């Protein structure tokens, strides 16, 4: 017997329980970081998504695109400005955001998946009124005896409502939805929404089996800088209040906590700089990154 062939067979058999557990289940994936930039990582991601589809999983992708937006703005002489991690988005900036996210980045991801053998369809939150948005404001502390200052950051929104009918239609027809995080406001105007928040809102509305964040981080780390392999949702507020987690990790964890309280079974934060990190997380005993769970009397560590 050829030992290499036997080894391959054992690898496939070891994944069988995961294929069975996730068959027919919706998994929402937030796609971002270097996995969207480096060619080998982009190809690996597309292959992972197609493999998931062919073993019966129903993947839905929400993508970011901050670096691509910055690059386009700088090309035309505009300087990106951020307040507390949120991009100041006037009308001109919103046009660029929509052009880059919906017109370029989204279609590129669709092409990658289709090239790998999938059937992907690109859309934004404006299509089918998928994501109803409302304006987000930033509140700045001005003292204990004074009201907070409200900072207008323009066309930046948060998800008010999800209308998932278009996604169910696409999934039933065998398509893989790829969603740009642009929502529609009450007057039909476009709103720029944080992709982490969009992914969490969609996972909640669809009662997804899993919500997976792919980024440029190993996972959530403690105050010593060590990876937290399992994090419970009731520990998240403490990590934020003590500033153990900062920056882009905050919306991920807030979104994760909300999703878990809305019926999502498990959230994962994984390192997209590792080729095929999605498949490693889903179909191996070891997994990687941080899994976020709701604490129960008897914890289930099944990946």
- Which pLDDT belongs to residue 98? 95
Determine the Cα–Cα distance for residues 48 and 286; give it in Å rounded to an integer: 17
Q: What are phi and psi of 179, to 5 degrees?
A: -115, 125
Q: How far is CA 112 from the centre of its chain?
A: 18
- Which pLDDT belongs to residue 303? 47
Q: Can you name the residues that pair with 62 across neighbouring β-strands? A: 30, 179
Token pair for 118: 């999938």
Query: Taking the chain (303 residues) in consecutive chunks of 10 residues, what is each chunk's mean pLDDT?
Result: 80 87 96 92 97 96 93 92 82 94 96 97 96 88 73 91 96 97 94 94 95 92 89 91 86 90 92 93 84 73 48
Determine the Cα–Cα distance for residues 271 and 217; give it in Å rounded to an integer: 5
Count of other CB atoms within 10 angstroms of residue 122: 22
Q: CA–CA distance from 88 to each of 93, 143, 219 (Å)?
A: 8, 24, 28
Cβ atoms 267, 256 nearer than 8 A: yes
- Which pLDDT belongs to residue 14? 87
Antiparallel, parallel or unpaired: β 210-215 and 26-31: parallel
Q: Can you name the residues that pair with 271 across neighbouring β-strands? A: 215
- Which pLDDT belongs to residue 208? 95
CA dihedral (283, 284, 286, 289) positive or negative: negative
Cβ atoms 258, 200 nearer than 8 A: yes
Cβ atoms 195, 178 nearer than 8 A: no
Domain residue spans of the chain: 24-223+235-247+276-282
Fold of the domain spanning 24-223+235-247+276-282: Carbamate kinase (3.40.1160)
- Longest CA span, the chain: 79
């Amino acid at each position: 017997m050829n030992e290499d062939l036997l080894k391959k067979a054992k690898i496939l058999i070891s994944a069988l329980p995961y294929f069975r557990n996730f068959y027919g289940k919706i998994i929402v994936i937030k796609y971002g970081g270097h996995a969207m930039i480096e060619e080998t990582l982009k190809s690996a991601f597309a292959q992972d998504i197609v493999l998931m589809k062919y073993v019966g999983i129903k993947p839905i992708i929400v993508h970011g695109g901050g670096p691509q937006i910055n690059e386009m703005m700088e090309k035309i002489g505009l300087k990106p400005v951020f307040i507390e991690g949120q991009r100041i988005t006037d009308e001109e900036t919103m046009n660029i955001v929509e052009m880059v996210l919906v017109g370029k980045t989204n279609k590129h991801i669709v092409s990658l998946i289709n090239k790998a053998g999938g059937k992907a369809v690109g859309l934004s939150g404006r299509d089918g009124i998928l994501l109803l948005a409302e304006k987000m404001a930033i509140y700045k502390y001005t003292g204990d005896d004074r009201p907070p200052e409200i900072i207008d950051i323009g066309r930046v929104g948060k998800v008010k409502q999800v209308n998932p009918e278009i996604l169910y239609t696409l999934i039933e027809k065998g398509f893989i939805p790829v969603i740009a995080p642009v929502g529609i406001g009450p007057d039909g105007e476009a709103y720029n929404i944080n992709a982490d928040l969009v992914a969490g809102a969609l996972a909640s509305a669809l009662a997804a089996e899993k919500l997976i964040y792919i980024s440029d981080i190993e996972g959530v780390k403690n105050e010593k800088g060590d990876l937290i392999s399992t994090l419970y949702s009731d520990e998240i507020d403490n990590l934020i209040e003590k500033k153990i987690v900062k920056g882009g990790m905050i919306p991920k964890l807030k979104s994760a906590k909300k999703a878990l309280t809305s019926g999502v079974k498990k959230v994962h934060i994984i390192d997209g700089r590792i080729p095929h990190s999605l498949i490693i997380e889903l179909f191996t005993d070891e997994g990687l990154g941080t899994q976020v769970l709701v604490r129960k009397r008897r914890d289930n560590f099944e990946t």
